[in-house]
Amino acid sequence: MKILLVNPPRSPENNILKYAPVEARPFIHKKLIGPPLGLLTIAAAVKDHEVIFFDCKGEYDLHPEALPLRFMIRELMEKHHPHVVGVTVITSEFDFALEILRAAREKDPEVITVAGGLHAILCPEDFTDPSVNLVVQGQNPMIFREIINRTETNQSLKDLPGLWINTGGKLLRPLKNATSWDGAGENFLMPDRSLLKRWISTYHVGGNPYPSTYVFTSLGCPYQCTFCSIWSQHQGKYYQRRIESLIEELKTLDDYPVVRFADANTLVNESFITELFDRIEEEGIKKDFVMDIRADFAVHRPNLIAKLARAGLKVVICGFESFRDEELRKYNKKSVASANQTAVKIFEQNGIMVRGNYVIPSGYGVDDFAALAEYADRNRVVYAGYTILTPMPGTVFYGQVKDQIIDHDYRKYNFFNSVMQTRLDPVEFHERVGALWLIKKGTDVI
C-alpha cells in the first residue's frame, strides 16, 4: 500500500505578537521547529509499505512562497497516488488537518483518510467532517498498521479497538477502547529521521547554526496540572524509555548537535537519568542538550543538575506558570513559586541557561500585570516566555471554564490568544502580555 503521512502547517494566529509593542516582537515565539515524532512513529509501524512523508511546517520554512496548503496536497496526490492519507493533529492545527484530508479526497474520492494524534485522542467526536474516514483514538501505532493491513486484504475495520469510523458525517464509536501501549518501553519504535532530510536545514533553534532534533526519554507525566493535555493524553500514566534504546538513538544523531528532549518532564526518575547520563559520557556522546525540568525537582537534586551540566545540558525549560502560590494550587501544579527562584539559581550556578514560562489568565487586570512584571523583573532569566492560560479541549481546565469560552476557533488554541473573556479590553490584554516578553536577561530567542 502507498501511504502519505502529512504534518500540518502551524496556525498563524498569534494575538500576543499582533498587539505587542514593536520592541517586544523580536522575542515572541513565531514558530517552534522540530520533527513530528508521533508521525515518524506511525511511519515506523508501516515501514514495510511505501511511505511518503511530508512536513508542511518544514516546507513552508524552506519555501515561504510554497503553494497554499490545498494545492500542495493536490500536487502530492497527483505525484504519488496514495491509497491512504494520514495526518497528525494537535488542537490548533485541527482546521489544517481537515483541509489536508479534504484536498486529498477531492483529488481522489477513493483515498482512505485517517486522523490521529493528541486531538484525535482527546476529542475524537470533533472529527465529523465527511473528509475524515477514520479517527484513531489511542497511542498504539499498531491500530494504524492494522488499518493498512485490513484495507489491503478487504477486511472489516469495525472491531478495531480505538477506531472511530465516519460514515458520511456520522461517527461510529469504537466497539472496544484501545488497549494501553508502552510506546516508550517494550513497544518503542525507532523514528527514521532520514524521512526528514529535505527539511533538516530548517530545524534550527534561535540563532544556533546547527540543526536540532527532539528525542523523547519518556511519554506522559506523573503530575496532573489542570490546564495540561499531556497527562490526559496518556491517562495519567508515565512510560520510560530503555537506556540502551536511547543510546542507540543518540548514536544515530550525527546530523544534530542539539538534542531537545521532548518529554513532559525529563527528570522524574533520578536513578534512570543518572544511569542514562553515565552511559552518554561512557559512549563519548557530545551534544548540547535542552530539557524540561520542574523547579521543585531541581531544588531537591542540585547534584544531579551539576552532573547533567557537565554532560552537556545547556538549556532548561521550566514551567514557572505563576508567581503566586494560590494560582499554582489552583492549577494543581504541586509546587510553590519560591521553588522557581531557587531552581533558577541552581541552573545558573551550573552555567545552564533558563527559559522560564509564565501562563497569564484571561482575567488579569492592570494590577496583576504590574505585580507579575515586578516579580519577573526581580527574577529575570535568560529567556522568558509569557503565554496565555488556555482551556485546551479535553483538559480539566476546559471542563472548569467551558461556559466562559467565547472563541471556539481552534486555530487560536496555541497559547497565544485569549479564547475567554478578558477583564481588560482584549487588545490591551494581548498588548500587556506581549510587553512582558521584554522582561528577561538575554537578547537571544529560543
* 239 closest CA partner among 215, 265, 221, 219: 219
List binders of ligand B12 among 32-71 (CB under 6 A). 32-34, 36-39, 41-42, 57
Residue 301 binds which one of ligand SF4, ligand B12, none, with CB within 5 to 8 A depending on kind?
Answer: none
Number of residues that bind ligand B12 (CB under 6 A): 42
234 touches 189 (CB < 8 A): no
**How far is it, in rounded angstroms, from Cα 231 to Cα 113?**
27
43 touches 192 (CB < 8 A): yes
Q: State the minimum distance, in angstroms, from the CB of residue 219 to ligand SF4.
A: 11
Strands 112-116 and 134-136: parallel
Name which of 377 and 413 has its Cβ closer to ligand B12: 413
Q: State the minimum distance, in angstroms, from the CB of residue 413 to ligand SF4.
A: 16
Q: State the minimum distance, in angstroms, from the CB of residue 312 to ligand SF4.
A: 23
- 144 near ligand B12, judged by CB under 6 A: yes
Long-range contacts formed by 299-307: CB under 8 A, 24+ apart? 299/339, 299/342, 299/343, 299/346, 301/267, 301/270, 302/346, 304/267, 304/270, 304/273, 304/274, 305/346, 305/347, 305/350, 305/352, 306/350, 307/274, 307/277
Binds ligand B12 by CB under 6 A, chosen from 53, 127, 216, 386: 216
Q: State the minimum distance, in angstroms, from the CB of residue 229 to ligand B12.
A: 4
Name which of 58 and 220 has its Cβ closer to ligand SF4: 220
Binds ligand B12 by CB under 6 A, chosen from 90, 103, 225, 352: 90
Enumerate binding residues for ligand SF4 (CB under 6 A). 221, 223-225, 228, 230-231, 264-265, 294, 319
Residue nearest to ligand B12 (CB): 116
- 10 near ligand B12, judged by CB under 6 A: yes
Residue 90 binds which one of ligand SF4, ligand B12, none, with CB within 5 to 8 A depending on kind?
Answer: ligand B12
- 232 near ligand B12, judged by CB under 6 A: no
How many CA atoms within 13 Å lie on the side-chain side of 12? 3
Give 153-188 as a 3 state SS string: CCCCCCCCCCEEEEECCEEECCCCCCCCCCCCCCCC
Q: State the minimum distance, in angstroms, from the CB of residue 328 to ligand SF4.
A: 11
